Structure 1
Amino acid sequence: MASLSMSDFKNHRERFFSQMSDNSLALFSAASEVTRSNDTEFNFCQNKSFYYLTGFNEPDALLVLLKRDNKTQAILFSLPKDKDQEVWHGRRVGQEKASQEYGFDQCFTLDEQNDLISQYLNGLTQVYFAFDDKLLTQKVFDLLAQVRSAVRQGVKAPSQLVDASPLINEQRLIKSANEIELMRQANYISILAHKRAMQQTQVGLFEYQIENEILHEFTRHGARHPAYATIVAGGDNANILHYTNNDDRLNNNDLLLIDAGGELSGYAADITRTFPINGKFTEPQKILYQLVLDAKSQVIAAIKPGTCFITLNAIANECLTKGLVELGILSGNIAELVEEKVCKRYFIHGLGHWLGLDVHDVGDYHMNESRQQCREFTPGMVLTIEPGLYMPLDDNTIDAKWRGIGIRIEDNIVVTQQGCENLTQDCPETIADIEALMAN
């Protein structure tokens, strides 16, 4: 299975070290297992920032980054080797292997963390940790209290606490060449899954049967898990943005909206395609679909370093508004409708978001006073572009021919030095290409 090398994770740690003040310590917690029912757990999903810095995929571990006298150490605390536990719950990496294969400077068991970290903290100035991690926050305060209790013995506790989240989030926002290549592969697998879904869809099947085809294709190519709950929404269900019931029957002359992406070595793809269940678009479906596709194409053509979501939203708003006026769905002065963003009545979500280890990835959008995303794009950012139009079945303000149609088309885009790369360009999106694929 494709993955980053241990040197990539070490590089991530080195980049974070470079942001730390001298005589400081940073703490990053692994995730814990989550109970599904009684004594069974959900599939384990690692804390993404911890994973970004370690590549280590066991629960309850703790990473310590120590920077003292401008020398750095990466120290891991993790579960010990235990034959009795491992025969029931699976093999553990252990401390020796973690040191040898994961590139940590020192590795200890979880039971050793309190005493050793208290020693590390003595004489330091700053502690970095994620303030929104309640369990880790409590651990930090407990450790600091432990250090301060020995002040009469000459021990000195750090006096400055720094939120690590903005630092690690900014670092994660700009992907390395190796991260982008891994996301390219995640998209390749996800594209195969969307093609399979188009080819397997038939009138009378259930949405969950198509979901199964998608998950099968993910797994067949090494993406063991979906990056998020798969949306397979037939007909009017597509007008529910986060529809995941996936339990309705697929009806003739309806569209099927599929929002699905695989996760490969922790990195997400996020693709949406909308296509006719019977393989042929009706005329109203064609018209609305082409309008959404035109908006997406115009937006992606404008992506380059220096632009921002404000510019892209203006392009999508103008394209969709003009189209909806031409169709009689909106009426009035086009300039005023654009200014008032009236098309949001039918395009009800955002145009896109950052993508990476999380499907809605971390990173500041730099919101201005008008709550517009004004951050300029720079090479290495990965984002989605996903315009849509949603015409609910019960909306009696529009002509009956539009009702029950929900369309979204979503691509994954890398900002490059010259412009952008569409990681999703090989996933069928034109009316002709979709109908040709479904006819085979």
Structure 2
Amino acid sequence: MDLAYMAALPKEEFAARRAKLFAQMADNSAAVIFSAREQIRNNDCTYPFRQDSYFWYLTGFNEPDAALLLVKKNQQNLTALFLRPNDPLLETWNGRRLGVQNAPNALMTDQAYAIDELTSRFTEMTENTDKLYYAAGVQTWGDALLEKSAGDFSEVLSWRPMLDEMRLFKSQNEIRLMQQAGQISALGHLRAMKETRPNRLEYEIESEILHEFNRFGARFPAYNTIVAGGENACILHYSENDQVLKDGDLVLIDAGCEFAMYAGDITRTFPVNGKFSQPQRDIYQLVLKAQKRAIELLVAGNSIQQANDEVVRIKVEGLVKLGILQGEVDELIAADAHRAFYMHGLGHWLGLDVHDVGSYGNADENGDRNSKKRDRTLEVGMVLTVEPGLYISPKSHAPEQYKGIGVRIEDNVLITEYGNKILTCAVPKEINEIEALMANR
């Protein structure tokens, strides 16, 4: 049992989340959520265990092979956790377990049982309930366990819409952890800027970043780190990280740590040799202008779509001025001409997952949300990334001096009642600040 993870949030917060889910469940219903399982890497070796985000959100329990059962009958709520029992021999080999006897007090559940008892006790405990909340496909090993039992309910509904909406709004405790994730991620980027120089390999800089994450208590990155030198920056999810960083090129680094299960997500682009060339400045300043304007607009009452529309206009105007696009600005915007150079969205929700859950669309008259739209009104407690970019492919018809330049600038923003707060502002992004930092390496 990883006690450090349990200490990250008080157990009362997990209990309060379960109470909030109970309040949304119909009477005479049950909900079941499964943990992640260990994933085999190869013979006798597993990947580092990472708990399922939904299961963690409701339990704070960081062991595999567990299930949470919530039963609501006659306005009475029952919480039961099914988990691996203590086993001295296996714990000698594979680490400590919380155990059935310790679980109720440690996790504030009403009952706890061995995971092997789930199938038999599930039928007994859900007797006289007619609705089951379950999300098939999230943990497929749970699907197999419930395959027969699900047919006993008159209706099976997904708990995902309820939990997604809950996870979208961060508590003060979550914000505290996300601030820490943002700060540690920023320290990794600062180290990368200080350690980058011509002829170093991309993966050497990646190792500097991961070292800094570990040094401050974040053992793992929140996602695969991108260190993309030169035209590699025009590959959005570049991950090979095995090329030499060349004098005169830019390097794009997209890296964030995971701290106490919460993700940081920062991108910075800077010159390998510490000095921007004029073409690099042109593209970089255009992206920075767009990002700053987006951050101004991303406040309560506005939407991601509003900010992105402004970003697109700024970019198209700038690309026309640089001769990368030709034509009338409004016509180019209508034709999505920018998509050749800016092909992703402005940002995404951030939290327990780096691409966190929650609908991006406003609710229609039936209360349904279209997640493909980005018109949802921003509210206090939401956290999102702001990451405009421009990627001038070597195969594009842009002027020669701009070919192969890829720039993205990304920060994490918390929506507050006073505007927004940038959680990742410790990493410089102004050209003069970056050059000054790198000059003092």
Q: TM-score, normalised on structure 2?
A: 0.94
Residue pairs, 1:21-420, within 5 angstroms: 21-133=26-138, 134-144=140-150, 157-366=152-361, 371-395=372-396, 397-420=397-420
Higher mean alpha-carbon deviation, 9-18 vs 313-322, is at: 9-18
SS at match of 1:421: strand
- Residue in 2 aligned with 1:422? 422
Q: CA deviation at 1:370?
A: 12
CA contact (8 A) 1:3 1:264 kept: no
Q: What amino acid does structure 2 have at the position aligned with 1:247?
A: D
CA contact (8 A) 2:412 2:424 kept: yes
Q: Deviations over 1:357-383 (max 9, x none)?
A: 000011111289895321111111111
Q: CA deviation at 1:52?
A: 0.4
SS at match of 2:102: helix
SS at match of 1:295: helix
Q: What amino acid does structure 1 have at the position aligned with 2:281?
A: K
CA contact (8 A) 2:133 2:158 kept: yes
Aligned residues: 428
Q: CA deviation at 1:132?
A: 3.0
Q: What amino acid does structure 2 have at the position aligned with 1:142?
A: K
Q: CA deviation at 1:256?
A: 0.6
Q: What amino acid does structure 1 have at the position aligned with 2:146?
A: V
Residue pairs, 1:11-30, within 5 angstroms: 11-30=16-35
Q: Deviations over 1:282-335 (max 9, x none)?
A: 111011101000000001101112211220111100100111111111111112
Change in 2 beyond 3 A, CA 1:369/1:363: closer
Q: CA deviation at 1:116?
A: 1.2
Change in 2 beyond 3 A, CA 1:370/1:319: farther
Q: Deviations over 1:189-246 (max 9, x none)?
A: 0001100000001111100000000000001101111000000000011011000110
> Identity rate of aligned residues, in percent?
45
Q: CA deviation at 1:143?
A: 2.3
Q: What amino acid does structure 2 have at the position aligned with 1:414?
A: L
CA contact (8 A) 1:295 1:316 kept: yes
CA contact (8 A) 2:301 2:379 kept: yes
Q: CA deviation at 1:341?
A: 2.7
> 2: distance between equivalents of 1:168 and 1:369?
17
Change in 2 beyond 3 A, CA 1:126/1:370: closer
CA contact (8 A) 1:223 1:264 kept: yes
CA contact (8 A) 1:24 1:68 kept: yes
Higher mean alpha-carbon deviation, 5-14 vs 311-320, is at: 5-14
Q: TM-score, normalised on structure 1?
A: 0.94
Higher mean alpha-carbon deviation, 211-220 vs 66-75, is at: 66-75
> 2: distance between equivalents of 1:232 and 1:238?
8
Q: What amino acid does structure 2 have at the position aligned with 1:240?
A: I
CA contact (8 A) 1:131 1:165 kept: no
Change in 2 beyond 3 A, CA 1:381/1:370: closer
> 1: distance between equivalents of 2:267 and 2:199?
22
Higher mean alpha-carbon deviation, 99-108 vs 215-224, is at: 99-108
SS at match of 2:162: helix
Q: Which runs of 4+ in 1 moved over 2 A?
A: 131-141, 338-341, 367-372
CA contact (8 A) 1:218 1:262 kept: yes
Change in 2 beyond 3 A, CA 1:230/1:109: same
CA contact (8 A) 2:56 2:62 kept: yes
Q: What amino acid does structure 1 have at the position aligned with 2:247?
A: N
**Structure 1 unaligned spans of 5+:** 146-156
SS at match of 2:381: coil
Higher mean alpha-carbon deviation, 62-71 vs 26-35, is at: 62-71
Q: What amino acid does structure 1 have at the position aligned with 2:217?
A: G
Higher mean alpha-carbon deviation, 328-337 vs 261-270, is at: 328-337
Q: CA deviation at 1:393?
A: 2.2
SS at match of 1:10: helix
> 1: distance between equivalents of 2:95 and 2:141?
25
Q: Deviations over 1:112-168 (max 9, x none)?
A: 1122111011111211111333433332232245xxxxxxxxxxx431211111111
- Residue in 2 aligned with 1:151? none
> 2: distance between equivalents of 1:47 and 1:9?
15
**Structure 2 unaligned spans of 5+:** 363-368
SS at match of 1:332: coil
Q: What amino acid does structure 1 have at the position aligned with 2:420?
A: C
Higher mean alpha-carbon deviation, 131-140 vs 329-338, is at: 131-140
Q: Deviations over 1:56-97 (max 9, x none)?
A: 011110001111111212110000100111111111111122
SS at match of 1:297: helix
CA contact (8 A) 1:122 1:158 kept: no
Q: CA deviation at 1:399?
A: 1.3
Q: What amino acid does structure 2 have at the position aligned with 1:310?
A: Q
> 2: distance between equivalents of 1:198 and 1:10?
42
Higher mean alpha-carbon deviation, 288-297 vs 2-11, is at: 2-11
> 2: distance between equivalents of 1:103 and 1:375?
35
> 1: distance between equivalents of 2:285 and 2:278?
11
Q: Deviations over 1:228-274 (max 9, x none)?
A: 00000000110110001100011000001000000011110110000
